Amino acid sequence: MRYCEFPLGLKHKYQVYTCADLTQLREAGYCEPMMGLEEGGNGIVQGFLWERACSLPQLKGYLPDSSASSFSWSRAN
């Protein structure tokens, strides 16, 4: 993942920066750590690619190994 400058023509039409206030979430008892941008983005992309790959007829019978941290395919028994 790499950073791309926000297009100048869109700067006043869209929100460029977002920072959440997690005070109420923490006060409600949620104490798990938050993912960073890179980790969250990679997870979304991997999930999207796995979902698409699993729907391909050419890969019928192959399943993604959900315990792997990267793409790993194994033949279903």
pLDDT for position 26: 95
Give the residue among 21, 51, 52, 46 at the shortest CA–CA distance from 34. 21
Reported residue count of the chain is: 77
pTM of the entire structure?
0.40
Let me know: does 64 contact 71? Beta carbons within 8 Å: yes
pLDDT digit string, tens, across residues 15-71: 777 888 999 999 999 999 988 888 888 888 888 887 787 777 766 666 555 444 455
Domain boundaries, the chain: 35-77
